Amino acid sequence: MSVFTDQAVLTVSIDGEADLLRVRSVLRAEAQQVGLGLTAATKLVTAGSELARNIIRYATHGQGAMAVERLGREDRLGVRAVFTDDGPGIADLDLVMRDGYSTGGSLGLGLPGSRRLVDEFSIDSSPGQGTRVVIAQWAR
């Protein structure tokens, strides 16, 4: 018996605005499954919505995916969501993590805002290599 059990739940392909609803409902359902509180769940779903919207807006053909995993530790459960795309990538990660920076006419809060909403956040990207953002929220 292992005390560390992470399991893949499902992958949602992102290919247009209709998939935003799917991303949100999958995250909401998984948050409930692991027992996240309402505020933590709302933050997770909102962060996921921001990241999915980034894929739709910036990735090549607006396509990417979200893979959801259930995290199990000895004393707590959590949700991890991995957003990937094969888009143009991001040249300056420091710049895009700054509040208010946007090339798309938005508020420029998607990435820095999402980071504030979740317990764990990491981003990996380089030009031509696509982008991978990982978020996780733990039940208290």
Given 12, 30, 31, 50, the residue binding other proteins (CB under 8 A): 50
Given 15, 29, 46, 124, the residue binding other proteins (CB under 8 A): 46
Whether 123 and 133 have beta carbons less than 8 Å apart is answered as yes
Distance in Å, CB of 113 to other proteins, minimum: 4
Write each residue from 57 to 96 as x if it is in contact with other proteins (CB under 8 A), else as -, in one continuous string: ----------------------------------------
Given 11, 67, 113, 132, the residue binding other proteins (CB under 8 A): 113
Number of residues that bind other proteins (CB under 8 A): 27
What CA–CA distance (Å, rounded) separates 113 from 11?
Answer: 23
Nearest CA-CA partner of 139 in 70, 44, 40, 30: 40
Name the β-bridge partners of 79.
70, 137
Question: Is residue 97 involved in binding other proteins (CB under 8 A)?
Answer: no
DSSP string across 103-118: SSSS-S-HHHHHHHHS
Of the listed pieces 2-10, 16-24, 60-68, 126-134, which binds other proteins according to CB under 8 A? 16-24
- Which DSSP category does 54 fall into? H
**Structure tokens, 119:** 């317990």
Question: Is residue 21 involved in binding other proteins (CB under 8 A)?
Answer: yes
